[in-house]
Amino acid sequence: MARRQDRAAGGTNGTPDGGKALKRKTTPTISDVAALAGVSTATVSKSLNGRDGISPTTRAKVVAAAEQLGFRSNALAQSLLSGRSYTVGLITNDSFGRFSIPVMLGAEDALQAGQIAVLLCDGRDDPIRERHYIRTLAARRVDGIMVTGRRADPRPPITLDFPIPVVYAMCESTDPRDASIVPDDEHGGTLAVEHLLATGRTSIGHVTGPSDFRAVRLRAAGAEHALRRAGLSLAGGGPLHGSWSEEWGRQAATILLRARGDLDAVFCGSDQIARGVADGLRAAGCAVPDDVALVGFDNWTVMTEASRPPLTTIDMNLPLVGRRAAETLLASIEGTATSGTELVPCQLVVRESTRV
């Protein structure tokens, strides 16, 4: 199956650390430090943790001994005693795809600041697997659980048979008593259309994904609100629903142009669709942004930058979603629980496709 590369050096060395091995057999414990410093473990603990009631001389002695031994306090023992593991579980069902990752990074960053580590659990949309993970996390006595996933309709809450704070990021829980953090899709749709209106466009189409996605409906609603406030409505009579693909974007471009000769802008439900629309428009001899302006959704740079021209788009601030989820979870762990859904605002990112 795999082949091993020949190497001049190191091939004969069977130990994991090679010449880097240290003399020490096991990692030093607080008792080792105590023995070396000639004090009790209690004194070591207090010295190293900055408790007062320790004379500067003793403290210095202990610190030196700890240093010399390379002592690192055993977090497991600390957790056992404190009852807090300073760990949270992160369950995803997006297989850490395009949407989960930024959320996860934002969350990890916020948690790490609180000295909290993250245990990874890839649920793979398998409820059994998810149950298994929840049991594992329970056994490990995590302080909280964060559930994230692909963007879709609200999901049933995870079932715990023990009381641990849970926060849902990106994927809302159907139980309104749970805390969920999601992007404000409706607001995103509004932002996109308001930008198009502000640049003087009036005949605006909307090409988007399947209508059974809640996000699709919300973005369209936001767009239509903005239009209505301007006394307008969607070109083509309503959103054009299709798949989340460039191919659909290409087709939709043709459809829109045929239906409305005066089309001067298209707001798309994703950057992938937008890129397809851009290609479709160009193939039809229609210039972007001179004839038709284009706004995408997601700010997925792979698409926005590769598109010709680069796409103006809506950024969902996913790292912020993750960060807020982490903060909410932390607060909940500290005892200040929240419930309900928090919407994180989207942001307009302007590029050439809406140049005036």
Q: Which of residues 90-109 bind a second copy (CB under 8 A)?
A: 90, 95-97, 101, 104-105, 108-109
Helix (H, G, I), strand (E, B) or coil at 168: strand
Question: b/e per residue, 212-233, with b = 16+ CB within 10 A?
Answer: ebebbbbbbebbbbbbeeeebe
352 binds, among a second copy, DNA, none (CB under 5 to 8 A by kind): none
**Candidate list 13, 31, 68, 211; residue touching DNA; CB under 7 A:** 31
**Can you tell me the distance from the alpha carbon of 300 to that of 304, in angstroms, rounded to the nearest whole number?**
6
Site membership for a second copy, residue 16 (CB under 8 A):
yes
Determine if 288 is a binding residue for a second copy (CB under 8 A): no
Scan residues 64-93 and list those touching DNA (CB under 7 A).
71-74, 77-78, 80-83
Contact between 177 and a second copy by CB under 8 A: the answer reads yes
Per CB under 8 A, 165 contacts a second copy: yes
Distance separating alpha carbons of residues 27 and 1, to the nearest angstrom: 37
Alpha-carbon span 320 to 349, nearest angstrom: 16
Q: Which of residues 179-218 bind a second copy (CB under 8 A)?
A: 179, 184
Check if the beta carbon of residue 219 is closer than 8 Å to that of residue 185.
Answer: yes
113 binds, among DNA, a second copy, none (CB under 5 to 8 A by kind): none
DSSP class of 309: S
Does 231 bind DNA (CB under 7 A)? Our answer is no
Residue 180 or 203: the one with the smaller Cβ distance to a second copy is 180
CA 120/CA 107 separation, integer angstroms = 12
Q: Is position 166 an interface residue for a second copy (rule: CB under 8 A)?
A: yes
In the list a second copy, DNA, none, the entry touching 1 (Cβ below 5 to 8 angstroms by class) is a second copy
Q: Closest separation between CB of residue 129 and a second copy, Å? A: 9
Among positions 115-144, residues that touch a second copy (CB under 8 A) are: 117-120, 122, 135-136, 138-141
- DSSP track, 21-74: --S-SS---HHHHHHHHTS-HHHHHHHHTT-SS--HHHHHHHHHHHHHHT----
Of 52-60, 82-90, 229-237, 262-270, the window that binds a second copy (rule: CB under 8 A) is: 82-90
Phi, psi at 276, each rounded to 5°:
-60, -45
Kindly give the residue spans of alpha helices, DSSP state H, lying in 245-317: 246-259, 271-283, 301-306
Q: How far is the CB of 50 from DNA (least distance, A)?
A: 10
